[in-house]
């Protein structure tokens, strides 16, 4: 038995609030954290590798996996399907490995309501302002103006679900937000639900106490 169970660490935010950067920093801080490789029906972008960045699959294969109960969560976003294969996540947390999810509120809700819900740690990242959010989207130069406009339209819907998370952080200073994430994760790893050996330890203490009577 491992010293602890792994956590399903959920990071959510509107596009441009910084969750992807914070996810990379969190894994650099603790390389044992593994990133959940999502499945998607969208085509690969230049430089993306199948199985490393995403599991790329066609829509029929994706829907078949969902119907068979093989997805921990899934959603339809901007015309494509995204989801987290369940088996790999279960195996990881059983080994005591933390799995990091960069997903939206819909996926977060599905995971919290799943059989693995007690092992989740959900954190929502807010931008300091809507103007700053728009500026970040334009400066990263990954999307067309049309896609940026759609992301901005969707941002308030995502922000409106902030109160469904365990923790909410305003990312107005990247270094300070990272430090807060580290503190949250350190504490969450000590939850009773994440320490499978505690019950046996308490029983051993009880036996020792009874022997001394």
96-113 residue pLDDT tens: 999 999 888 888 999 999
Q: pLDDT (tens digit, 9 = 90+) per residue, 17-55?
A: 888 899 999 999 999 999 999 899 999 999 999 988 899
- The rounded mean pLDDT for the chain is 90
Cα distances (angstroms) measured from residue 80 to each of 58, 74, 145, 195: 10, 11, 19, 38
- Side-chain half-sphere exposure of 83, counting CA atoms within 13 A: 24
Q: How does residue 77 score in pLDDT terms, banded at 50, 70 and 90?
A: confident
Q: What is the rounded radius of gyration, in angstroms, for the C-alpha atoms of the chain?
A: 19
More confident: 131 or 187: 187
CA–CA dist 138, 202 (Å, integer): 55
CA–CA dist 102, 10 (Å, integer): 6
Q: pLDDT (tens digit, 9 = 90+) per residue, 140-172?
A: 766 677 777 777 878 888 999 999 999 999 999
**What pLDDT, on the 0 to 100 scale, is given for residue 67?**
93
pLDDT > 70? residue 71 = yes
**What pLDDT, on the 0 to 100 scale, is given for residue 1?**
46
**What pLDDT, on the 0 to 100 scale, is given for residue 2?**
60
Counting residues of the chain whose pLDDT is more than 70, the rounded percentage is 98
Q: CA nearest 111: which of 7, 4, 5?
A: 7
pLDDT > 90? residue 80 = yes
Question: Which architecture characterizes domain 8-36+96-212 according to CATH?
Answer: 3-Layer(aba) Sandwich (3.40)
| Residue whose entry in the numeric block shows the structure tokens 């799995």 | 99
Structural domain spans, the chain: 8-36+96-212
Taking CA 199 as the corner, what is the angle to CA 198 and CA 201, rounded to the nearest 5 degrees? 65
């Amino acid at each position: 038995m491992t010293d602890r169970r792994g956590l399903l660490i959920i990071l959510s935010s509107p596009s441009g609030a910084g969750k992807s950067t914070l996810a990379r920093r969190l894994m650099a801080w603790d390389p044992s954290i593994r990133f959940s490789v999502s499945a998607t029906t969208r085509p690969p972008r230049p430089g993306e590798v199948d199985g490393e960045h995403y599991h790329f699959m066609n829509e029929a294969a994706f829907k078949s996996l969902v119907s068979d109960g093989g997805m921990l969560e899934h959603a339809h976003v901007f015309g494509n399907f995204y989801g987290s294969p369940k088996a790999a996540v279960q195996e990881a947390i059983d080994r005591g490995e933390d799995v990091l999810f960069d997903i939206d509120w819909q996926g977060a809700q599905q995971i919290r309501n799943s059989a693995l819900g007690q092992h989740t740690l959900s954190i929502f990242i807010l931008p300091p302002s809507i103007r700053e959010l728009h500026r970040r989207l334009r400066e990263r130069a990954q999307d067309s103006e049309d896609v940026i406009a759609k992301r901005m339209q969707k941002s308030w819907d995502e922000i409106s679900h902030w109160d469904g998370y365990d923790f909410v952080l305003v990312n107005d200073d990247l270094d300070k937000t990272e430090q807060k994430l580290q503190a949250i994760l350190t504490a969450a790893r000590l939850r009773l639900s994440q320490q499978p050996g505690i019950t046996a330890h308490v029983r051993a203490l009880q036996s020792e106490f009874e022997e001394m009577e």
